[in-house]
Structures are given as C-alpha cells and as structure tokens.
Structure 1
Amino acid sequence: MILLRVTLPFLAGYFLSYNYRAINALLGPLLAEEFALSAAELGFLTSVYFLAFGAFQIPLGVLLDRFGPRRVNASLLLVAACGALLFATGQSYAELVTGRALIGLGVSGCLMASFQAWVLWHPPERIAMLNGIAFATGGLGAISASVPLELLLRLLGWRDIFLILVGFNFAVVALLAAVVPERAQTRHGESLAESLAGVGRILADAAFWRVGLALFGLQAAVGSLLTLWMATWLRDVAGYSRAEVGQVLLFANLALIAGFLGYGRAADALARRGRSAFPLFAGGIGCAAACLAPLALGVTVAAPLLWMLFVGCGTVGSLAYSILTRRYPREMTGRVNATLNIFTFGGSFLGQWGVGLVIGRWPQSAAGYDPQAYAYAFGMLWLAMLAGLAWLWSGRRLFAGA
C-alpha cells in the first residue's frame, strides 16, 4: 500500500524532473540553430533550470517541514507545467529562458519531497537505499531523454514533445493530489521564526560546509556535463552523429542508475553494520575526477566507457543527503536536504554556464565548437572537483559514524 500510495507518485514526479533536466542534451543543438544561440547563451538557457531550482531550496525546506511533501510538490509541479507550456510555444530567447526557469522552480520540490516522504513513512536504516531508488528513477527520466527522445525527434518537432511533457506533468499533479495521504507526523505548529532558526543551525554546522562544497565541485562537473556538454563533446571532439550521441547518453544514464542503486545498497549495508559512508563518498568523488581527466585531455579512445565510469562514479553525491540527515532530528529533514541542494544545483548552474562561457571564447565553426575549448572548460571542472575533495577530506574527523 505504501508503495502504491506514497512511493510511486513521488517517483513519477522525480522521473519527470530529470527528463526536464536532461532533455536539452539532445535538444540543445536544435535550439542553438533555430534561435542562433552562442555557446554562452545555450549554456545559460540550459543552466537557468539549475539556478531557479537552487534559489528556491531554503524556502522549499521551510515549506516542506511546515506543510508536508504532498501539497508542496503538487503545487510546485503546476508551476512546472506552465513553464513547459511557455517553453513549447516560445518565440524568443527570453521566453525560452523564462519557461526553463519556471520548469526549474516547479520541479525543485520533486526530489526533496520524496526524501521527506521516505523519512515520514520508513525506518531510518532504509533511507539511503530509498534515496538510491529515487535517484535511479531520475536516471530513468534521463534515459527517456536519450535514445527514446532521438527516435521521437524523427517523428515530431521539439515543441510537440514538450506539449506531451505538459500532459504528463498534469497527470503527476493529479496523482499526488488524489492518491498520496497526509502523514500525521508532518509538523504544522512550528513558527516561521523557528523554521528559519533551524536553517541557521544547519548553516552553522562545519560538517555541512565540508559536504556541501565537495558536492558543489562534484555537481559542477557531473550535473553540467551529463545534461548538455557531454553531448556536444561527443559531437565536436569524438565526431559522433546525433544517433550515436543518443546511444552514448543512453549507456551513460544506465550507469547513472547503476551508480545510484549501487551506492544506495552499499550505504545501506554500511549503516546496518554501524559504519560510516564517508569514505565511500570521498572515494567516489576521487574516482569521478580520475575519469574526467582523460576526457579533458581529449582522449576519444573508449570514450563511451570513460563517460559511463565518470557518470556512474559521480552518482556518489547521492550519499551526501543521508550522511547529513543522520546528524539532525527528523523534523528538520526537509530543511537539511533542501539547503544541501543549493550546492547541488548551484554547482550544476555555474558549471554548465561556465563551460559555455569558456567554450564561447574560441571561434565556432560549421562543425561545432573548438576541441581545445573543451580541454580548458573540462579542466576547470576537474580542478573544482579536486578542491572540493581536498576540503572534504581535511575535515574527515567530523564524520566519524556518519
């Protein structure tokens, strides 16, 4: 009963959220051609999703803890539907940016609402695994924006595809509103001042900043590349066709799912043994950085495998949420996760836009962007990952038993 009435409706919302997030990886070149966008403009258009998403996280955390995941998520998804409709019908760059920002704002509660629902309905030792399942469902949403999207683009225009997403969006809203029950433990009596004081407690925690900045560096690379620049790198550096790019995206997103599930199971097993997931978190960041290095250098031999390993290892960021929520009482779960999410989506926004700004400093040819530009842009992301990892590891004593 919990699976049907709680778990599946929230997973459907996160599936949609990740499809919206990843769809520009294939649509980006079409949008750039139709609207004559520069690399920086394309990067900003795609990344404004992350900007709007991240900017709403602290208000989101307060709303989730005060009103519960069902009502907050359903209400926000109505905003996403309006944004998708504007994007589908937009005739200017400004309309596309506005629509994309509304989508980011509207789906900003999908993952955090799911996390809070797990905490409300499941025992603490199952949270890491359930978080992994949620992230894996997002991976399925990303897969739907790879080969299936490429095949659909042969039959329909990108505007028609967005109208289909609008319909699915409204269906998810109806499912959340009609099926998911309220949970008695949801807190309604806490004042706004008390809610904001809880955010202050989180921001005063040194461990929060260690995890947050490491997550920022990781997501600046993984979040920005998987949802846009990986596809253009495959086209411009490796010389892949759109169909081949779609296939690599498919396998990379399969690695995304495997990583989320694998890390979730591993963290779950560690929790049952009373052991910390911190070394696993730090090690995963290091492995992802090791995979990005040859890609930054322009290595195209076994490029699909390198991208799969990079994405799969990079999913270790999902452990950050369970590591931190164990440090706080249940009633603060929404604020902890949402505040941490600022680093996730702030990193993705700055990384994605930053890559576009760097790439745009080189002249663009008819074939695409300059391969040398990718080396500098990806190298910037690699350094951000290493800096975050070094900062995290220097504070490892804070996470004994985390």
Structure 2
Amino acid sequence: MSEAGRARVNLLLQISLPFLAGTFLSYMYRSVNAVLGPRLAEEFGLGAAELGLLTAAYFITFGLLQIPLGVLLDRLGPRRVDACLMLFAAGGALIYAGAEGFGGLFLGRALIGIGSSAALMSTFQAFVIWYPPQRTAVMIAIAYAAGSFGAMSVSIPLELALRVWDWRSIFTLFAAVTLAVAVLLWFAVPEAPVKARRKPFMLQLAELGRVLGDPAFRRLAIAIGSSQCAAAATFSLWMGTWLRDVAGFTPIGIAQTLATAGMGMVLGYLFFGRIADARARAGQPVLPVFALGVASGSLCLLVLLLGLTRSLPAASVAVWTLFCFSSTGATLAHAIASRRYPQELAGRVNTFLNTCTFVGAFFGQWAVGVIIALWPATQVAGVAGYSTQGYVWGLGLLWAVQAGGLAWLWSGRRLLDRPAPQILK
C-alpha cells in the first residue's frame, strides 16, 4: 500500500470511525422516543405536554452546553471532550433504564443530552483539523449521514427489539455501547494540534463575541435554528404520533415510515453536501442550496399541516420523507460558517450554530406538545391518541417559524458576500 493509501486508512480508523460512532449514538438517543414515546406515555400516564417536555429535555441540555463546549473543544481538542462527555450519556441511559416516574426519565434524558452534546461538533472539528478545507462540506455531510443512520436504528430495529426485550433492557445495552465508544475515542484518537488551547478562556469568549457581532452570522444562526426547530421536533417525536393519530398507521407502519424518512435524511445530507462541495470548489456561494432545501421542507410541512395527505398513506410517507430530505439543507450553515471564519474558531462557531439548533428544537417540540394538549385526548380502536386539530396548529407554528427564519436570512443574503470582520487579534 502506498504512503497516501496508508494515510487514508489511518484517517478512517483513527479519526472518522471513532467520531462517527459517537455521532451515530447521539442521533440514536435523540430519536428513540419517536418509537418509545407512546409506550412511555401509556406506562407512566404522560400527557402530550409532558411527553413533549420529556423528549425535549435532551435538546435543552444539549443546546445550553454548546457555547462552553465550543471553548472546551478549541482548548482541549475533540478527543478529550467527546470521550469524557460520553460517560454522562452512558450514566443517563442507566438512569433512564431504571426510572420509576417522570422525574427519573427526565433526569436520565437530560444527562443523555449532556453526554451527546459534543458528538457532532467534535466530529466537525476533527474533520476540520485533519481533512483539507475543500473537503469540509462533504465530510460534514458524511457526519450528518452517520447520525441519520443512528436515527434509523431506533425505527424498525427498535420496534422489532421491543417484541423480544423490554425497553429498560434495551437502554441498559445502550449504556454499555456508549461506554465502549467513550473508551474507543480516548485510546484510538490522536491528540489534535489545536493552537488555541493556550488562549485564556475570556479571550476565547471575546472572540466568539466578535463573531456574534457579524450580522451575516446572526441571520445564519437564526435560519438554521428555525429550520431545525421544525425538523428535529417532528422527526424525534411528533412525526410518529402524527402518523398514528392523523394517518392511522400501526406501530410497525410508523417504524417503517421513520426508517424511510431517516433514509431520506441520509440521502439529503449526502446530496446537499455534494452540491455544496461542488459549488465551493467552483468558487460559487453555497447559500442558494441552503435556501432551496429549507424552502422545499417548508412547503412539505405546509402540505402536511393542511391535511392534504391524511387519507393517502403512501403520500404521507412520501411527503414526510421529502420533508426530512429537504430540511437537511439547513445544515449547510456549518459549511458556510466554517469557510467564512478562521479554523481556530471552528469549535466555537459550529457549537453556537448547534446551540441555535437545539434550543429551537427544545422549544419547538415542547410547544407542539403544549398546543396538542389544548384539545381533548382521543381513543381510536382502544388506542389513546391526540386530536388532529392540535396537530394542525402545532405544525402550523413550526411552519411559521421555519419560513420566517428563511425569509429573514434571504432578505440579508448580500451580507454573506462581504468579508467577515477581523476576529483574531
């Protein structure tokens, strides 16, 4: 094998696979309640608002940790940060497995959010450090695709596993696998040559403050937050209950649709990543690709909330899948920002964008639950569910937020054509 070939193999084994394994688990935990949520609601007597808050606990702890996480990534490197935080995810999974009520479930899921919070951003930073800049967009797309496979792993596979084991045993297994990935990250990944480690903490925060002073970055952050508010809130919980209550799907039908939509996400990440990579190589802006994806997703969400596919199962699957495919275009915000600012700021810039994503997802997911809870619960063939009218208003809120964020970004698109302000001094 040539020297270049050995280098590629080393990158795969020592960098890509360990970090992608963590990203896989992060998305798995994020999406598990799409299948498990109705069972938890029945076992613990949870209403729509409580179920939404429980599932969103992952997002709020994940999101709030992003800004300090960005500083830690730039100071300590992705290996140490990701491996240590994965221990919190393993502990949270054990607490979740042994929970006896809402409090235990909430604590476990919140700890899982903390433990998963570094997975994607550590992967991004590792790719920025060890891969050439022109490969950034496609490598980020691969990271998102790995995460989507994690989400798919808790669709049909989880539904089938629940016929053999109870959910507590499954979460105990999740904890063991998470611990194994933490060990792999710690021992397999080399130290990162990050110069910013020696910078004082307050100076790093000041540099992030100067990034936030860039009006182009603020619009980009709001746009990804508003788009992923809708995408994450639906795929990780409310898509499954919508399929049950509005479209009349069975549990296995829901799992199959989630798997199909998850594959749509994988293809979306790879498609938009490839297109963005080609445009970046040609010196063309990536923003139009971002806008096309978000606009297409917004149109799909409008079709769903208006109930145009309610009596057409195949159409429901197709539109939800297209929604998931299209919404992945919003993640190009990371590629846009990574090319706009110095590599030394990669951790802080990307984690702030992730803060917007997950804080938006938290409020979006919880708000939909609160709105749905305004209508009386339903019973169809002995199965408890939620009012279809609640979904109309809940999804309507997500659509308005998503479309509004895109409109604001597009109205200021020329700001991204200007040079970024001086950040490092």
Do both share a fold (TM > 0.5)? yes
1:66/1:188 contact within 8 Å kept? yes
The question of 1:250 aligning with 2:263 is answered no
Alignment of 1:138-287 (within 5 A): 138-287=147-296
Residue 197 of structure 2 aligns to a residue whose secondary structure is: coil
- The two structures have a TM-score, normalised by structure 2, of 0.93
Cα drift, residue 186 of structure 1: 4.6
Letter paired with 1:189: R
- 1:286-335 deviation line (CA, Å, top 9, x unaligned): 10011111110122221000000000000012100010121211111000
Cα drift, residue 185 of structure 1: 3.4
The question of 1:41 aligning with 2:54 is answered no
Residue 361 of structure 1 aligns to a residue whose secondary structure is: coil
**Matched residues in 2 for 1:31 and 1:298: separation?**
27
- The two structures have a TM-score, normalised by structure 1, of 0.99
The question of 1:390 aligning with 2:407 is answered yes
Alignment of 1:22-61 (within 5 A): 22-61=31-70
The question of 1:5 aligning with 2:17 is answered no
- Determine the structure 1 residue equivalent to 2:347: 334
Stretches of structure 1 that go unaligned for 5 or more consecutive residues are none
CA RMSD of aligned residues (A): 1.0
Cα drift, residue 401 of structure 1: 8.2
Letter paired with 1:287: S
- Determine the structure 2 residue equivalent to 1:381: 398
Residue 326 of structure 1 aligns to a residue whose secondary structure is: helix
- 1:87-125 deviation line (CA, Å, top 9, x unaligned): 010111111101100000111000000010011101111
- Determine the structure 2 residue equivalent to 1:372: 389
- Determine the structure 1 residue equivalent to 2:375: 362
Over 3 Å counting, the alpha-carbon distance change for 1:118 and 1:379 in structure 2 is: same
- 1:236-272 deviation line (CA, Å, top 9, x unaligned): 0000000000000010000000000011111110111
Stretches of structure 2 that go unaligned for 5 or more consecutive residues are 1-9, 420-425
**Matched residues in 2 for 1:90 and 1:401: separation?**
52
- 1:132-174 deviation line (CA, Å, top 9, x unaligned): 0000000100110100111101101111110110011011011
Cα drift, residue 183 of structure 1: 2.2
**Matched residues in 2 for 1:40 and 1:15: separation?**
28
Deviates most, 42-51 or 317-326: 317-326
Deviates most, 107-116 or 323-332: 323-332
2:297/2:323 contact within 8 Å kept? yes
2:75/2:194 contact within 8 Å kept? no
**Matched residues in 2 for 1:5 and 1:214: separation?**
34
2:78/2:192 contact within 8 Å kept? no
Cα drift, residue 200 of structure 1: 0.6
1:276/1:399 contact within 8 Å kept? no
Cα drift, residue 209 of structure 1: 1.1
Q: Identity of aligned pairs, percent?
A: 50
Letter paired with 1:340: L
Q: Which portions of structure 1, spanning 4 or more consecutive aligned residues, are displaced by more than 4 angstroms? A: none
1:276/1:401 contact within 8 Å kept? no
**Matched residues in 2 for 1:215 and 1:91: separation?**
36
Cα drift, residue 400 of structure 1: 2.5
Letter paired with 1:383: A
Cα drift, residue 217 of structure 1: 1.4
- 1:39-98 deviation line (CA, Å, top 9, x unaligned): 000000000100000000110000000000000000000011111110010111111101
- Determine the structure 2 residue equivalent to 1:290: 299
From 334, 351, 357, give the equivalent of 1:344: 357
Letter paired with 1:331: E
